[in-house]
Each structure stands twice: as C-alpha cells, then as structure tokens.
C-alpha cells in the first residue's frame, strides 16, 4: 500500500529500534529492543538494488526536519527506514536532536520482514503490534524512507494471513491519524531500484537522478502550484476521466475536502490535522475522496506488476461508487484477485482521485507505467482513503495509474493526453 500508514507494516515486520537521545552509557543497549552490536552492513545484493543518493544527505536531512516536518523543541520523532539508508537516517536523527527534539531510529530490512512472516507462527497473525500502538501514543512526528528493495517479497504469502495481519494492525494507523501525528514519507513508489528502473524503461542512474531531483524540488514552488490546482478542483463538481486504454470514469468531487502534498507540513496543515499533516516525497499531488456513491464507469490498468508478476488490462467496472466486476490477464492477476477477495469491508470502494503537479519528475514517454507526481498524471484507487480525507478505514488499498489520460472538470479540460492544463 502506498498511502496507507507505512509505519504499521514496518512495525509488523519487526524493526530494530535504537533510541538516539539521550545517549545510553557505553556498551549498553539504548532500550529493551536494541543490542549494543554494530549495525548490520548492506549485502552486495542490497548495494546493487538501491543506488546511493547523488545528493547532500546532511542538507537533505536538515531540510526534512526543519522544513517538511517542522520539528520543534520537545517533539518526539520516529525515524524509519532500511539498512541501505542508514547514513541519511542518522543525519535526520542528529538534526532532530539539534532542534531540541527526541529521535528514535527504527531500521529494517527485506530479510527481517520476510522472516517475520515465514518464521513466525500463523497463530500470532491476529495479534496487534504492541510496540506499534505504544509508539502511536508517544510520537508526534514520523519521518520514514521506503525500506523495501526486493520486488515480490511476499509473492508466496497466504492472502488470508496477510489480511489478518493488516486487520490486526489497522487500529495503529487509526491512532496515528486520531492524534494528528505529522508524517513525512520519502519514496512515493519511486525509490530507485534496479527492478523499478527496468519497469519504467530507465537506467538506474537516470531513475536515481529523477528521484532525488524530485525530492529536492523547491517546495515553495510546489506549494504555489498546488494551491492553484486545489482551487480549481474545489470549485468543480464532476470529473470525467478517459484514456485510450478504455478507461471512462465519472465521479463527483463537489464539497469534498481537497488536499495537497507539497513537501511542507505548514502551521495551517497542523491546525487542520488528519490527512493534512502528511506529505509524500517526491512531492506534488492534489487529491480528494470523491462523493460517496458517485463514481460510475470503467477503469482499465493497462500494465501493472503484482508481487513481481505482470498483470495486463486489469479492468474494474464501477457502479454506485463500488467495484462490481474485476477482470484481467497475466501471471499476476490470480494473486491480485485472491488478495482482493481476502480483504475486508471497504476494499471495493472507488475511494480517491489524485492529480500529479510536479514538472521536475518525468517518466519516459514510452513508459506504460505511471506514478503519482509527474505533472499531468491522474491516479485513482480502491480501498483505504483516510490519507485523502475520506472515511474508508479498510487496511486494503489498490492503486491504478492512468498515464496519458484526458480529464475534464465539468466542461473544462484540466488534463489533456497527460498534459496538465490548469
């Protein structure tokens, strides 16, 4: 899941926790969850899977802490990520402490995440992660970096077990939202890896540069652009999305709260609370939950990869705001459908619409895959939409990118063949 609380799944995987402040006495554990042994080094496979950031990590960390998250003296900050980004995680923690706040660093890996599923008995799947809930009640800011590098890590997992774990940990996400915990997430489905570069038809070097250029975009400019698009969407009634692949979907947005992920959690965002206190980097999205029951039509996902397996022409028939039929082909479709069938209430709701506004994040024109943030992109999905200001709390979410679409708002074209016109 891209937008639902990533921290819940990270905690369920069993991350190692290391308290960064105050410092523990020499040769002792920082807390009950930490050993005094040196941090693990990345394996050769991990090093080639993720490209080292071509950016000033210290400068980025300072920016994330002071500008994006707005960390102040006395804040309690959870910093999460994978072993491959340990230097940046450490830099973030140091900058948190320099602001007079208190960081807790949580580091995970694909190996640990997989073992937490494969080696832990099924009888514990219904247990809610107790550390996760304690943290949800303790921290007021999270800064997280996508930590998963392997594609299809849980391709062989039992859908019912995954659904049981998601259901058990759903209250943790609810608590983070209830307490208005500010959340900064770095990755946004664009974190540079070998396999993701191949999916987009890019070299790893090009994807890495595109990703970090997007992360380092001038957020003030994105803020201004976001307010323009937000104003247009908030003033409209009905969106009509069409695409050469057969997508033809209408939905209403009139009266719905419109949110912007612009890279900065402003004081105004903090005052609003809820979904307004989350940003996703690279930033540049305007989104909302549609009027309940208003979505009608058909959505076609030309190409997707589900746990590393290709899914072709996934087609959702939408009536009364809900999925009434799902078809598709390709080796990944059966597992996608099995996971969907195993999910609980709310999985079938056409729950959000998202417009990309960042001109500095570009994909090759030949790419059949999409992403959230390139200017002129349009994304819809089913399931959880709390992040978009909705009330669907389902732990399930499926995202459909529709690159090259045309979108009209009432009688005005706002996106034409993938080009933003606002």
The count of residues in the chain is: 422
- Distance, in Å, from the CA atom of 219 to the CA atom of 224, rounded to the nearest integer, reads 9
CA distances (Å), 178 to each of 45, 275, 341, 387, in order? 39, 10, 29, 12
16 has pLDDT over 70: no
Q: What is the pLDDT of residues 275-289, one digit of tens each?
A: 999 999 999 999 999
Q: What is the pLDDT of residues 135-161, one digit of tens each?
A: 999 999 999 998 778 888 888 889 899
- Please check whether residue 361 is in contact with residue 214, taking contact to mean a CB–CB distance below 8 angstroms: yes
pLDDT for res 34: 30
- Is the separation of the CB atoms in 261 and 285 below 8 Å? yes
| Crossing angle (nearest 10°) for helices 130-138 and 6-13 | 140
Task: From 380, 368, 398, 399, select the one nearest 199 (Cα to Cα).
Answer: 368
Say if CB 263 and CB 217 are below 8 A apart.
Answer: yes
pLDDT average, residue stretch 361-389? 93
In this prediction the pTM is: 0.84
Give me the DSSP letters along 132-184: HHHHHHH-SEEEEE----STTTTTTS-HHHHHHHHHHHHHHHHHHHHTT-EEE
Residue 337 pLDDT exceeds 60 = yes
Take residue 288 and report the two structure tokens written for it: 């909302």
Show the domains of the chain with their CATH numbers. 6-186 (3.40.1830.10), 220-260+283-420 (no CATH)
Q: Tell me the pLDDT of the chain averaged across its residues.
A: 87
How far is the C-alpha of 72 from the C-alpha of 100, rounded, in Å? 7
pLDDT, position 49: 52
Q: Give the CA dihedral 232, 236, 238, 242, nearest 10 degrees.
A: -20
pLDDT, tens only, 61-114: 999 999 999 999 999 999 999 999 999 999 999 999 999 999 999 999 999 999
Instruction: Report phi then psi at 175, rounded to 5.
Output: -70, -40
Q: Does 360 have pLDDT greater than 80?
A: yes
CB half-sphere exposure, 100, CA atoms < 13 A = 4
C-alpha distances (whole Å) from 290 to each of 67, 237, 308, 349, 350 are 30, 10, 30, 10, 8
Residue 39 has pLDDT above 50, yes or no: no
Give the Å distances, CA to CA, from 71 to 181, 307, 317.
12, 36, 44
CA distance 241 to 296: 11
To the nearest whole percent, how much of the chain has pLDDT over 70?
87
379 pLDDT above the threshold of 60: yes
Residue 406: enclosing H or E segment and its boundaries? strand 406-409
Residue 98: CB atoms within 10 A of its CB come to: 13
Q: Name the 3-class secondary structure at 386.
A: helix
Q: Rounded distance, CA 217 to CA 279, Å?
A: 14
Which is more confidently placed, 328 or 308? 328
Between CA 83 and CA 41 the distance in angstroms is 7
CB 402 within 8 A of CB 249: no
> Cα separation of 283 and 359, whole Å?
11
Write down the residue that tokens 């071509």 correspond to. 54
Asked whether the predicted pLDDT for residue 310 surpasses 80, the reply is: yes
Place of tokens 């089913």: 382
Q: Which of 55, 61, 67 is nearest to 20 (CA)?
A: 61
Q: Which helix (H) or strand (E) holds 228?
A: helix 219-234
Mean pLDDT, rounded, for 212-230: 92
Integer CA distances (angstroms), 97 to 52, 62, 341, 376, in order: 25, 11, 45, 39
Over its C-alpha atoms, the chain yields an Rg (Å, rounded) of 21
């Amino acid at each position: 899941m891209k937008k639902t609380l990533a921290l819940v799944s990270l905690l369920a995987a069993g991350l190692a926790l290391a308290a960064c402040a105050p410092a523990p006495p020499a040769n002792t554990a920082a807390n009950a969850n930490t050993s005094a042994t040196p941090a693990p080094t990345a394996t050769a496979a991990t090093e080639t899977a993720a490209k080292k950031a071509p950016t000033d990590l210290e400068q980025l960390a300072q920016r994330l802490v002071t500008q994006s998250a707005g960390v102040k003296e006395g804040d309690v900050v959870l910093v999460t990520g994978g072993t491959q980004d340990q230097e940046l995680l450490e830099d973030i923690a140091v900058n948190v402490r320099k602001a007079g706040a208190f960081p807790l660093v949580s580091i995970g890996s694909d190996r640990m995440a997989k073992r937490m599923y494969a080696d832990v008995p099924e009888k514990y799947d219904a247990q809610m992660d107790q550390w996760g809930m304690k943290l949800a009640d303790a921290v007021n800011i999270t800064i997280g970096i996508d930590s998963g590098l392997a594609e299809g890590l849980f391709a062989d997992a039992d859908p019912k077990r995954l659904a049981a774990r998601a259901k058990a940990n759903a209250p943790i996400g609810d608590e983070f939202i209830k307490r208005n915990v500010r959340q900064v997430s770095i990755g946004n489905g664009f974190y540079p890896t070998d396999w993701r570069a191949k999916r987009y038809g890019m070299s790893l070097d090009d994807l890495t540069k595109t990703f970090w250029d997007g992360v380092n975009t001038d957020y003030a400019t994105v803020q201004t652009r976001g307010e323009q698009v937000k104003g247009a969407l908030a003033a409209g009634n009905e969106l009509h999305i069409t695409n050469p692949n057969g997508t033809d979907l209408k939905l209403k947005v009139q009266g719905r709260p419109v949110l912007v992920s612009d890279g900065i959690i402003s004081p105004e965002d903090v005052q609003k609370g809820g979904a307004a206190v989350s940003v996703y980097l690279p930033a540049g999205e305007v989104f909302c939950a549609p009027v309940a029951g208003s979505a009608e039509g058909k959505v076609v996902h030309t190409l997707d990869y589900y746990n590393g397996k290709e899914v072709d022409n996934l087609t959702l028939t939408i009536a009364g705001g809900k999925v009434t039929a799902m078809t598709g082909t390709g080796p990944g479709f059966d597992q996608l459908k099995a996971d969907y069938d195993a999910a609980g209430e709310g999985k079938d709701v056409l729950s959000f619409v998202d417009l990309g506004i960042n001109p500095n994040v570009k994909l090759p024109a030949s790419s059949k895959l999409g992403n959230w943030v390139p200017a002129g992109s349009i994304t819809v999905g089913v399931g959880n939409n709390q992040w978009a200001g909705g009330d669907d709390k389902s732990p399930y979410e499926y995202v459909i990118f529709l690159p090259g679409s045309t979108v009209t708002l009432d009688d005005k074209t706002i996106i034409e063949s993938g080009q933003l016109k606002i």
